[in-house]
Chain A
């Protein structure tokens, strides 16, 4: 057992952090909560790509860096610490590139990976549907074979970044007669096709983050199929482990934590800084403790992946833990701000750019997206603890 990062890893962390601080100093962007999923900044993504920081863990022959998941965790941890606008490449880098590396044909790798590596694939994840949430396998969107093509019909919803995407990763039913888990396939294709339309949904913060996506007679070539036809559901389960495992499940609103600590040091009430109020100190210390425990969960997941295992219950555990932490952070921030906590980012006198307000509202979705906490606890109970299903 060894909790130390190697010298190389420490240097890498420093390099990432220097890069991000440099960007902030140049005024290229401002740190914000949820920037990994809401901060669309194509230029930033290009600079990250030039650093070689997309596809870090992919094999070298596929254009990646062949580095460890711990290294990637270090990279994403710094991105989140600084609230960097990484949404353009996040999904493609985290999940879709890996799926192509794993399940793609040589031809697909040759066509798709360079585009992802260059940071040019703004990917939406088309999984959920109005009647298929947690129970994804009950999805209805159809992909029907027609010569060299599939014809796609149906609707996806809650597609994050749908208004910015140029590619979509889509799960659709390819065998309507098979049992529901066994007739699903995965596709990856450009959204610049006739029949694809996107309708934004305003989320609870009032912003546009997720979308409805409609497919009407959309013709995609068979080369858009990823992996084995009708085996898509099993491929997805594996990808979901990766979707769940990231540092964003703990540090999505980290900039709020730093700002909050700073705020309590600088804000005086009743003649002394808030940070000297015993109750507030205790709340902040509890947050710090919760954060550090969460980081250990996250590092464990990365280590499991480095061992070549799929982190199924470990990533469930860390995601449930991490998202609950993020929600607690947002709630505690409002409590500490008191009356000021209710001011929106657009309001006069809003402290910390209204981050607490925004985060409190947006964090409600954290324990739903990528597997609700309840579903993930089911996974822990059945797979880790081997409790009976009936």
Chain B
């Protein structure tokens, strides 16, 4: 082939990043366009469950079988993004025995390793489970870090020559007759890494093929070319606790329902969720009852959750898709499967396919299927290798623990840095400069922050999702300004300050749903640190109106006598005793 076909992928969630990696590994010329940071959409707002498939073993066995297959693949290719916590489907006395049996048989049918454990065995594994639970089924559920996984996919795509543009919104599709031939893009800050305050611009990108991987937004991209993509966005809440009350994924063993799962994730446990159809994936109500519901219902499984401290809540929108003829009224009835919509077959519009629905856990499989489809269009014959080739950072993960001493990092800081970075730890942490901890709650060091800045520019929210800095108990109260300082030098003070403000507002946003008890006290402390100690709420550098009249304030004049400092020295104070 003289020159490879150029494919534009719209959407930098797990689906888009997975496709970008796959196609670029097969030698195609790839451009990925994302309107925000990577994981800006649903991928950055999901529960973090690496499905074993157990949840779908009764209701949707096709999805269940896909999940267990991909669960095994991700453990292999992305070990640094996955924590194999194991999972339990817990049955309370009032839950149906019949369903419990169905779940067990379903797991068997789908090839999901499942084992029944007694109530006391389950409590031995998870001491905070309720006293009165009957029994449980143990399955290989895990926790997965979506940020790290998507960044690793994008990094791999880049290594294979892909162009990855964040903060670049597709504003229109270029259509020539009955064919999509490219996209119009609005760059927030010029091409390349995102920098605050740098003028952006628009660009027309020609493409041989366009993949619409915009999840809940897919309908909008469809509209740009006059085709219908019937995505039915459905929101769900997730409430983050300050510690891991459980170390295993805890599911309620009963048919679909709200508030039935707790996922341990890094230093936290995340409760979820709800399922409510919404009109607009970007603008929907985030409601108090949802937070109360997950806490109250899940306390039936883990009683201590009722009074535990939550640090924030966030919402995500499921990009559910239902073929037009089904017409479910309840969003929980809509299938979790994914669909590949070839607009040529469907709408006589050549040059574009949309991929909608699905799950994070099966992102790679979705990527493989659509990549096969794209390659077919061009008669490209190349095998998919994404299931075999480890993602950057996950090679040789087993030997990493030994590096800890070498990097001079104290456990647990060292352990956590190394786990986050995987096999990249060596490259990132080996620095001759001092490497202090910048975010104490999550144990994130300067070297990691600097590495993230190199990767994502002056956007501190992007640095945050790469490193977890500011995502712990204090929610950035102690480290937002430190992160801003890490930008300074490479970026000027005004850019740094803009990024700092953006991070402060973002951190505040999710905390609002956790404002009682300890976290309200934390919020007051944070507010005082930023407003009282630092006067960031009335920062004279950001003042509208006349400048501060410095001359009107105390300049220290009328010093009465020689300050006692000098006396102290004369007294021999230098020796300090």
**Chains A and B form a bound pair:** no
